[in-house]
Structure 1
Amino acid sequence: MLIRKIALIYFSLLALLFSANAQNEALAKIDIPDLKEYLTFIASDELQGRELGTEVNGLEITANYLAAYATEIGLKPAVENYFQTVPVLHTTRSKNDFIEVKNKKGKSVYRSEELVKLNQSHGVFSLDKESVLFIGFGENIESLDIEDKLVIVAQGNAESFSGEEAFKWQNRLERAKMNAIIEKQPKAMLMITNPKDTENKIFKQLQGWMNRPGYSLKTDDLTEQPAVLLATPKVADALLGKKGEYIKYLEEVAAGSEAVTEVSETLSLKTGVEPELLEAKNVVAYVEGSDPVLQNEYIVFMAHYDHIGVGKDGDVYNGADDNGSGTVAIMEVAEAFASLKEKPKRSIVFLWVTCEEKGHFGSRYYCDHPVFPLDKTVASINLDMVGRVYDGPRDDVWKDSPKKVKDFDGLYTLANDVWPGLAEINAAHCAELGLVPDSSLPKERFLRASDHYHFHKYGVPILNYATGYHADYHKVGDEVERINFEKIKRVADLCFLVGFDLANKIDIEF
């Protein structure tokens, strides 16, 4: 019996020794010259900032580069050619918008091109000789039947209309109002700006903002929401009969008079253009687990590889830290796992997502259309900006942010509460590497701030690594020359150690 116990201890120690040696050999694959080589290419001017719509398709070039790398180091393609197609809609400014008021005889009494679409309804929206219903400031509409009607609502509320800040656009107030009205399924909602804003400052501001070319993720939800539109008080005056009638109407409503008003005039309008369908790409590769059962569970390492492109002045925003750093760190982590002779028990997925800067399109699409089941994904580890250290007073522009860039040892390690064991494993390996984890970021804000959000939304345990905001965040100064490659290596080492531990841990339950 004693001999058997000794033998068991001996072989257990031998297994640990082999495991430690294997880890050390794999960690040696993560090296600074490779990180520099990869990032120098990905963050080069030639790729024009890795954004949709640039003259040189740097986003596509980067996706091909990552797929070629995955092939070279022996990762398995999770989808054909490693590419998961992400459908993106590109909308340009409409040049044929108009809004027209006709009297009860059908004669045009007002026509203008001053019309803005405020929500994300796609394509062309038009109405012809539609009756309208004024509903004041859109307050106290709970009992109001506005289904399938064109409603006219005033910007602001009765209090702000009478106050000193009458022209200010209060986004939270207006969005809440829009949502409450849209829930009642009107045919459309037309918001009219404040008639005291005689220079139409608010209209022009929103027109400039909303009429920019834009991108959105094409979703499977075919439910079309009612259009939400914005026009000037001249439209309301024409509908109410003459100039100056709209401000009188609002003064009466603000004083307590009935808000709901029908008129005999009708409204015709047209706005919007058909969007162009683009195809962006997530790059998805994996190392298959060695255990016949646990290989059907997954650890996902993720980084977005896009950035913000070229400025109006022609300057290229190369995004070396955001997020070239996370992209190349995962490349090296992938090589480390691929080099293991005996693969971990669980499968390791490497997910480079597209269009984070446009609104997390790539990660949202992956989670809505997962290549590997999310209920079998035991962790998603997202790297977003892991290549900078505090650079003196210039970085103090972020002194009031909870996420100002860390020193050489510091690292933001944001975890959700799905499985506390993930944060514990992370803390242990941070201590092993001399890293100081900071888990103090406000979760309500920062769980939504990057691609990990969509995994969190589906109940997957997440970790987000970041070195923090610096003076060059979203500026042309985010260049390779300012990257601390030793810091990237330390984060990549941490990823490997955490991932290796997770992939071989038997009892993960959440």
Structure 2
Amino acid sequence: MIKKLYRLFFFLSALVFILLSFIYIPFHDFDSLELKENISYLASDKIGGRICGSEENDLVAEEIAKKLSELGLSPLSPNYKEGFQITVPYKTNDKGVLKIRDFSSKDEIKTFSYGVDFKEDLLNFKENSISLSKEDDLKVFENALTFKKNGNLFFFYVPKENNFDFRSSFINDSKISFSVALNKNTFTEIVSSLNSGNEIFVELPYSTKVTEAFNVAGKIEGKDSSLKPLILTAHFDHLGTDCLNNVYCGALDNASGSCFLLEVAKVFSSLKVKPERDIIFVFLNAEEFGLIGSEEFAKKHSSLVSGSQVINIDMIGAPNTELSAVRSEKDKSTASENLEDIKNLKENLEISYEDSSDHASFSKYGADSLTLTHNDTSKIHTPDDKLEFISTKALDKGFNLLSKKVSNYCYSPFSRILFNSRVYILSFLICLVYIFYKSVSSIKHKKKN
């Protein structure tokens, strides 16, 4: 009787091992080294900073769509790419102009050096050429000055670091018509000259146009379409290349998040077990332009988004930085099952409430949304946000947390048992023990005979 039970136990173990082999052999294990190579490509000079409206940005959208198709994800709409109209900045010249001129004669008194004495900020370009004097409602502050002219507000400031590395997001509906960074000496000289009755002439090397940009979305189809999906998002755009040929690579912000999300899609699409609900992967555009891409996506799919859980990945992989969660300001006093799940998976989770990333757009349309981030802002929006500051260890930790959330929320308990590598290894070891036991028994039997 005992021998029969042993045989049954070993038979079931062998059956489990064979069954799990069909799941694990094609299974793609999360590979942070491969992920870092993908980040390297997206953050390369070749891709030029991926600013929304550029050819490089369109290329990235096309490549993501191709990758989702290769992974076997279904498009959320007729196509993986979902277009929307957007106002974007574009270069009109190689450099800007800033001069002090005589107010009456317009004779040039001094021309400042572009990139040394001043540089435009990316914030807005409602106007790109204008003369300004103290007659234009000039207000002078310790390290800034403003003008109002023809209904427009113009802003000049000295950066805290007194250099021009930082590049702001582009916000088309900003109240500021353009923004210019000055070094401290230039600021002092301009204020003195304006107070003496002179004017300044500014001509910036950018204008704006309306164009089409694309979000990219695909899904792993679940068993029950009546269940609200889990929506995983990351933005792939950044800030482009300036007129000094500085490439704003955006390795952490957010080549890391978009490549991370593709790797997560690769892992879960390789499983041979369907999730209980749809898992939707959305690669968002124009986050750096004021969360425009996520706003367009959430508005278009409002019925799908409302009531769904959304996890946005923004800036993942910073070394020596704990993973934290960010929710919308309006959700500070709102209960969140999504957040509770994350808190249960990570002790002492730091939580902040601000509309700093794409989770805010989804919250606006009724989603239980949050952003997961390694919130190291020390190099963000500067040319120093490069691959060398991405940690594979941090990427692995991020995946460990997110994969548990996805598994717990989207897969049945039985499926989660099948995914458990320990079960697979244990069944394999039992099979080895059984084979060894039978071999030893056979040898002993032959010796007796």
Please give the TM-score of this superposition, normalised by the length of structure 1.
0.54
Structure-2 separation of matches of 1:301 and 1:62: 18
**What is the aligned residue count?**
327
Percent identity of the aligned residues?
Answer: 24
1:319 equivalent in alignment to 2:250: yes
- Closer/same/farther in 2, CA of residues 359 and 155 from structure 1, 3 Å limit: same
Contact 1:388 1:483 in 2 (8 A): yes
Q: CA deviation at 1:440?
A: 3.6
For the residue of structure 2 that corresponds to 1:373, the secondary structure is helix
Matches within 5 A, 1:189-268: 190=151, 205=156
Structure-2 separation of matches of 1:229 and 1:325: 32
- Closer/same/farther in 2, CA of residues 298 and 46 from structure 1, 3 Å limit: same
Contact 2:125 2:207 in 1 (8 A): no
User: Paired residue for 2:316, among 378, 381, 386?
Assistant: 386
- Closer/same/farther in 2, CA of residues 420 and 169 from structure 1, 3 Å limit: same
- Closer/same/farther in 2, CA of residues 341 and 71 from structure 1, 3 Å limit: same
1:413 equivalent in alignment to 2:325: yes
Q: CA deviation at 1:369?
A: 1.5
For the residue of structure 1 that corresponds to 2:297, the secondary structure is helix
For the residue of structure 2 that corresponds to 1:80, the secondary structure is coil
Please give the TM-score of this superposition, normalised by the length of structure 2.
0.61
Aligned to 1:427: 343
Aligned to 1:77: 75
Structure-1 separation of matches of 2:41 and 2:125: 38
Q: CA deviation at 1:421?
A: 2.2
User: What residue ranges of structure 1 are gaps of 5+ in the alignment?
Assistant: 1-15, 95-109, 113-118, 124-153, 157-165, 179-187, 192-201, 207-211, 219-226, 231-272, 391-405, 431-435
Q: CA deviation at 1:92?
A: 7.3
Structure-2 separation of matches of 1:301 and 1:29: 19
Aligned to 2:223: 290
1:358 equivalent in alignment to 2:265: no
- Post-superposition Cα deviations, 1:283-335, rounded to whole Å, max 9, x if no partner, equal 011111112532xx211101000111113321212111110111111111111
Contact 2:343 2:349 in 1 (8 A): no
Structure 1 residue identity aligned to 2:223? S
Matches within 5 A, 1:430-441: 430=346, 436-441=347-352
User: Paired residue for 1:460, among 367, 370, 373?
Assistant: 367
Contact 2:52 2:88 in 1 (8 A): no
Q: CA deviation at 1:33?
A: 3.2
Structure 2 residue identity aligned to 1:482? F
Matches within 5 A, 1:80-95: 80-90=78-88
Contact 1:336 1:496 in 2 (8 A): no
- Post-superposition Cα deviations, 1:59-101, rounded to whole Å, max 9, x if no partner, equal 111111111110111111112330010211246799xxxxxxx
Structure 1 residue identity aligned to 2:35? L
Contact 2:302 2:365 in 1 (8 A): no
Aligned to 2:56: 58
Aligned to 1:244: none
1:29 equivalent in alignment to 2:29: yes
For the residue of structure 1 that corresponds to 2:40, the secondary structure is helix
- Closer/same/farther in 2, CA of residues 122 and 374 from structure 1, 3 Å limit: farther
- Post-superposition Cα deviations, 1:318-357, rounded to whole Å, max 9, x if no partner, equal 1111101111111111112212222111111100001111
For the residue of structure 1 that corresponds to 2:275, the secondary structure is coil
- Closer/same/farther in 2, CA of residues 370 and 293 from structure 1, 3 Å limit: closer
1:336 equivalent in alignment to 2:267: yes
Contact 2:53 2:212 in 1 (8 A): no
- Closer/same/farther in 2, CA of residues 472 and 168 from structure 1, 3 Å limit: closer
Matches within 5 A, 1:33-52: 33-52=33-52
For the residue of structure 2 that corresponds to 1:81, the secondary structure is coil
User: Paired residue for 2:396, among 489, 493, 497?
Assistant: 489
- Post-superposition Cα deviations, 1:101-127, rounded to whole Å, max 9, x if no partner, equal xxxxxxxxx9x9xxxxxx99989xxxx
Structure-2 separation of matches of 1:482 and 1:214: 22
Contact 1:93 1:213 in 2 (8 A): no
Aligned to 1:306: 237
Contact 1:426 1:498 in 2 (8 A): yes
- Closer/same/farther in 2, CA of residues 301 and 189 from structure 1, 3 Å limit: same
For the residue of structure 1 that corresponds to 2:372, the secondary structure is strand
Instruction: Answer with 319-328 or 309-318: which moved more.
Output: 309-318
User: What residue ranges of structure 2 are gaps of 5+ in the alignment?
Assistant: 1-15, 93-103, 107-122, 128-135, 158-166, 179-205, 414-449
Contact 1:280 1:354 in 2 (8 A): yes
Q: CA deviation at 1:25?
A: 8.1
Structure-1 separation of matches of 2:383 and 2:337: 39
Structure-2 separation of matches of 1:229 and 1:32: 43
Contact 2:169 2:288 in 1 (8 A): no
Q: CA deviation at 1:423?
A: 1.9
Contact 1:333 1:493 in 2 (8 A): no
- Closer/same/farther in 2, CA of residues 213 and 490 from structure 1, 3 Å limit: closer
Aligned to 2:358: 451
- Closer/same/farther in 2, CA of residues 290 and 25 from structure 1, 3 Å limit: farther
